[in-house]
Amino acid sequence: MNGSVRVGQLLGVPLRMHWSVPVLVVLLAYGLGRQTLPAWTPGRTAAVYAVASAVGAVLLMASLLLHEAAHAVTARRKGVSVEDVTLWALGGMTRMGRPRTAGVAFWVAISGPLTSLVIGGAAVGAGIGVNALAGWGVPAAVLVWLGWANLLLGVFNLLPAAPLDGGRVVQALLWWRTGDRERAERAAGRSGQIFGIAMIAFGWISFLRGNGGGLWLSLIGLFMVIVANAERQRAGINTALRGVRVGDAMSAPVATGADWLTVGRFIDEVAAHSRHSAMPLLDFEGRPSGVVQLRTLAAVPAQEREAHRVRDVATPLSRCTIAEADDLLSEVLEQARPGGGGMPVLVMDHGHLDGIVTMHDVTRLFQLHSLGVTTAPPESTPTPEGGTP
């Protein structure tokens, strides 16, 4: 996510934090210290409220982190790759691969809300216990507030609308019931769009009536609509690519260039004559060594293009997506690394480059599917006038 920085690791998974998290902590602490705690436990000093509200806000963010950690741990135990976990103002997000079965998808989705519900119940119970032992005080009030916040988070996430966890659960159940993954994804995405629009409308009306929290609700609804729409589009692409092999989509032959060329020579001798915006590089032995993008070449100042080798600004082969012609294209695209060389896909055969698959190639297949053509037709070869076709 743009605007996030890596702050460490969570159970071996990179943990990232968006700039909006400190803002959220301040807002939570302000509301807890200026409104909730003075109403529940009046008569304390401002310093007591300030310290308690800061602790409560940090504990709530820690519980959000545990919610996402549950998704990540469950996914890894079920054999699903996990890219990273990001905390931001609207909660958390775990980037991972697509589960292979409906059962795996169900358990990965349900693990987060269950964790929040367990934390919520434990915190409320602890608050009641502290109250019974020491009387109603600030620590008991913070624990009860934390508990109810987690219970609300767990219940809200179980609503049957993607990208909420409840939408993922419904998607998994529909997948299991129908056997059609893409159909289940489209249904969950549609419910997410409808629910998000309803949240935007309700939140905006609430805000106009003087409730500041309505604006927050509208932002969450807007986020749901955007993500749900993206997931519906992805489901449509996966349907179009069902059964399509990498070789059906690849462009071949493809323009390549030597990785030892200077950036200036590469632009003049290769990039200027290529019809692709991404070009594979070859080493001295003719083996692929990476990919360079036109936008990367353009970012090199003109006066420095003869001082840099093209391999110095390229994406190395270790970060590129590599496939064979017989691989299923949908599976290859799922495994493409989002932060590295996800596209294009280099199509290899025993260490030699056969071709590439670019986003343009994938879009073309999707458009052909919308026209009722399931695979790209072979390109015809013109015959001489009077010859036999």
Q: Residues 278-308: pLDDT tens digits?
A: 899 999 888 899 999 999 999 999 999 999 9
Please give the residue that has the higher pLDDT: either 326 or 213: 326
What Å distances lie between residue 28 and 59, 199, 235, 377, CA to CA? Answer: 11, 21, 37, 58
Across all residues in the chain, what is the average pLDDT? 85
State mean pLDDT over 8-31: 84
Residue 388 has a pLDDT of 32
State mean pLDDT over 334-339: 56
Band of pLDDT at residue 338, cut at 50, 70 and 90:
very low
- Over 70: is that where the pLDDT of 340 sits? no
Q: Which of 45-59, 95-109, 357-371 has the lowest mean pLDDT?
A: 357-371
Write the secondary structure of the chain as one string of H (helix), E (strand) and C (coil).
Answer: CCCEEEEEEECCEEEEEECHHHHHHHHHHHHHHHHHHHHHCCCCCHHHHHHHHHHHHHHHHHHHHHHHHHHHHHHHHCCCCEEEEEEECCEEEEEECCCCCHHHHHHHHHHHHHHHHHHHHHHHHHHHHHHHHHCCCHHHHHHHHHHHHHHHHHHHHCCCCCCCHHHHHHHHHHHHHHCCHHHHHHHHHHHHHHHHHHHHHHHHHHHHCCCCHHHHHHHHHHHHHHHHHHHHHHHHHHHHCCCCEHHHHCECCCCCEECCCEHHHHHHHCHHHCCCCEEEEECCCCCEEEEEEHHHHHCCCHHHCCCCEHHHCCEEHHHEEEECCCCEHHHHHHHCCCCCEEEEEEEEECCEEEEEECHHHHHHHHHHHHCCCCCCCCCCCCCCCCCCC
What Å distances lie between residue 235 and 113, 190, 240, 310, 364, CA to CA? Answer: 24, 11, 9, 37, 16
Residue 73 has a pLDDT of 92
What does the pLDDT look like over 120-177, one tens digit per residue? 999 999 999 998 887 778 999 999 999 999 999 999 999 998 888 999 999 999 999 9
Q: Is 385 a catalytic residue?
A: no
What Å distances lie between residue 257 and 212, 277, 281, 312, 381, CA to CA? Answer: 58, 13, 5, 14, 27
Domains of the chain: which residue ranges?
4-158, 180-240, 246-370
Asked if 250 contacts 325 with a C-beta cutoff of 8 angstroms, the reply is yes
Residue tagged active-site, from 68, 182, 185, 231: 68
What Å distances lie between residue 201 and 89, 130, 198, CA to CA? Answer: 20, 41, 5
Rounded-to-integer distance, Cα 136 and Cα 129, Å:
10
Nearest of 257, 187, 245 to residue 374 by alpha carbon:
245
State mean pLDDT over 321-334: 84
246-370 to CATH, choices 3.10.20.740, 3.10.580.10, 3.60.70.12, 1.10.150.130: 3.10.580.10
**Burial letters for 269-298: b for 16+ Cβ neighbours within 10 Å, e otherwise?**
ebbeeeebbbbbbbeeeeebbbbbbeebbe
What does the pLDDT look like over 218-265, one tens digit per residue? 988 888 898 888 888 777 777 777 788 888 888 888 889 999 999 999
Q: Which strands form 320-323's sheet, in the order they lie side by side?
A: 320-323, 341-349, 352-357
Place of tokens 């990919």: 291
Per DSSP bridges, beta strands 278-282 and 257-258 are parallel
- Percentage of residues of the chain with pLDDT beyond 90: 44
State mean pLDDT over 20-35: 87
- Over 90: is that where the pLDDT of 94 sits? no
Residue 301 has a pLDDT of 93
Residue 149 has a pLDDT of 93
Neighbours of 199 (CB within 10 A): 22
Band of pLDDT at residue 2, cut at 50, 70 and 90:
low
pTM (2 d.p.): 0.72
Residue 380 has a pLDDT of 38
- Over 90: is that where the pLDDT of 277 sits? no
Please give the residue that has the higher pLDDT: either 300 or 98: 300
Residue 377 has a pLDDT of 42
Which distant-in-sequence residues (6+ apart) come within 8 Å of 386 by Cβ?
Answer: none
